[in-house]
Amino acid sequence: MGVFDKITNTAKNVGSGIVSGAVKVGSNVGTSVQDNSEIAGLKMKINTIEQELDASYATIGRKYVQYVMDTGDMPGIDVSDVLKLMDPKITQKQELEKQLIEAQKRVKDADVLRAKEKAQQEFEAEKTKLDRALQMDVISQDEYNLKISIAQKKVDNFEEIRRIEAQCNMGLITEAEKNAKIASLTE
C-alpha cells in the first residue's frame, strides 16, 4: 500500500506543479494581452485626435488662403475660433500620449521581469544538471565550480547582457563583438 501512496503523492505533486505553471503562464498572457489592448486603444484615440487636428489645420490654411485671395494682402488673420476648438484636443492628445508611454513602459517592465525570471529558471535547470553530473562523477568539482560560476554570472549580469543584445539587434555592434562582450561578462 505504501508504494501506491507514493505514486499517488507524486502524481498529485506533478499535477499541482503543472496547474500552478499553467496559471502563472495564463496570468502573464492575460496581463500582456490587457496591456497590449490598452496600448492599441490609446494609439487609436491619438490617431483620431490627430485626424481632427489635421482637419482644423486645413481649416486654418483655407481661411488664410481665402483671406489672401480676397485682400491680396498677407498679414495675419484671426483663427482664434479654430484654436479654441483645437486646444482641448491638443491637451487630450498630450494626456493620451503620456498614458501610452506609461502603458508601453509597463509592458517593457513586464517583459524584462519575465526574461529575468526565465534567466533564473535556466540557471536553476543548469545547476540541477551540474549537480547530477557531479554526483555521478561525470565532472570534477573544479569543472562544476567553473560551469556554475559562468551560469551565475549570466544571471548576475542579466541587465548588461540584455543591453549588449539590444545593441547587436540595432546594428550598433556586430555579432562577434556581442559574443566577445558577453563572454567577458560571464568568464
Average pLDDT over residues 114-139: 92
Residue 1 has pLDDT above 70, yes or no: no
3-state helix/strand/coil string of the chain: CHHHHHHHHHHHHHHHHHHHHHHHHHHHHHHHHHHHHHHHHHHHHHHHHHHHHHHHHHHHHHHHHHHHHHHCCCCCCCCHHHHHHHHHHHHHHHHHHHHHHHHHHHHHHHHHHHHHHHHHHHHHHHHHHHHHHHHCCCCCHHHHHHHHHHHHHHHHCHHHHHHHHHHHHCCCCCHHHHHHHHHHHHC
The model carries a pTM of 0.54
> Residue 24 has what pLDDT?
57
What percentage of the chain has pLDDT greater than the value 90? 32
pLDDT tens digits, 83-123: 888 889 889 999 999 999 999 899 888 888 998 999 999 99
